[in-house]
């Protein structure tokens, strides 16, 4: 069963996730890669 993803909910999660990652000092490229993978796995591509 496939669950529909609310784009606003996903955007808020990805923003919070990225903020947390950057706050602990990860490289920007790693944050971008991780967020892109999460979004793509939920059927949302980042542009």
DSSP character at residue 43 = T
Exposure on the CB side of residue 26, measured as CA atoms within 13 A: 14
- Give pLDDT, residue 43: 87
DSSP character at residue 5 = -
Q: Do you know the residue count of the chain?
A: 47
Kindly state the tokens that stand for 4: 């529909």
Calpha distance 7→27 (Å, rounded): 25
Residues 18-43 pLDDT 10s: 999 999 999 999 999 999 999 999 88
Residue 1, pLDDT above cutoff 60: no
Calpha distance 29→44 (Å, rounded): 19
Confidence of residue 47 (pLDDT cuts 50, 70, 90): low
The domain segmentation of the chain, as residue ranges, is 7-42
């Amino acid at each position: 069963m496939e669950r529909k993803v609310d784009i606003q909910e996903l955007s808020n999660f990805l923003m919070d996730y990225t903020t947390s990652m950057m706050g602990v000092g990860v490289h920007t490229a790693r944050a971008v890669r991780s967020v892109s993978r999460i979004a793509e796995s939920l059927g949302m591509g980042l542009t």
